[in-house]
Amino acid sequence: MFQKSIKLVGLITALMLSWLVFTSAVLAIGSDVRVGTLGSIGNVYYGAADNASDAGASLLKLETYTGTTYTQKFRVDMNGNVYIQGTQICTSDGCTSSGGVAGFWKNDGPGGSTKIYYNSDNVGIGTNNPDAKLHVSGTTNIYTKVVSTSAGSYAGFKWANDTQAWRLYTPGGIVGNAAAGSAILYNDTSGSSVFYAEPGSLADSIAIIPTSVRINDGGADLDFVVLGDTDPNLIRADAGNDRIGIGTASPSTKLDVVG
């Protein structure tokens, strides 16, 4: 009788432990499984969501429990889409600033040197603290490449504020191969071209077509030199002495011709 009592107590104890483990570790609700203590703030929810979104039922769902309702924090649906209920993305380098859209960065190389970073409406390449809409920083040669390979398409850049705009582009061809007669530097505001590709037999030339061309407009000591095939001073404007030299690097009169 005593042995039967011991076995009965052991069975009851085992059932109680199983129930405790069941309620505190894994809780089955229909076809769903909850991992964690019922009523805690950190449950893992596996199965179909009660209120599935348009993407379909949930494959994995993480949620918090406030005592009356469950709040979704992370979810993977049956289509493989991932939903994160938050405003920050954190790595070992730190967290992005809070906002309506989660920040993004991509680290590459030893030590996690930042390559691409997005935050606060700015994009940084080579810097994790972009102070402009596009901020590019690096320790080697940097250039920007824009290519349009479709026939007759445009490739270029546009600089503008609220009243003025300029365009640098190559219409009618790819970059470095502008069609003859097409504008290269264009005033978007006035509608006039400053530089354009010459047509016809002069297609390899660039024409300057504003109403006037001013060199050294600030009146600084800035010389202007035209080099010849063999003469390094074919034409020299000596701004410091207000003289023009032809064939000389040091004109001694207003117009000094040597040759």
Provide the residue ranges of all domains of the chain, joining segments of one domain with +: 2-84, 98-136, 156-208, 224-257
The pTM of the whole model exceeds 0.85? no
Q: What is the pLDDT of residue 49?
A: 44
pLDDT of residue 241: 94
* Whole-number CA gyration radius for the chain: 36
Residues in the chain where the model's pLDDT stays below 70: 1-59, 86-114, 119, 152, 169-212
Predicted pLDDT of residue 149: 76
- Per the rule left: phi > 0, alpha: psi between -120 and 50, beta: everything else, 39 is left
What is the pLDDT, as a whole number, of residue 14? 53
d(CA 117, CA 259) in angstroms, rounded, equals 60
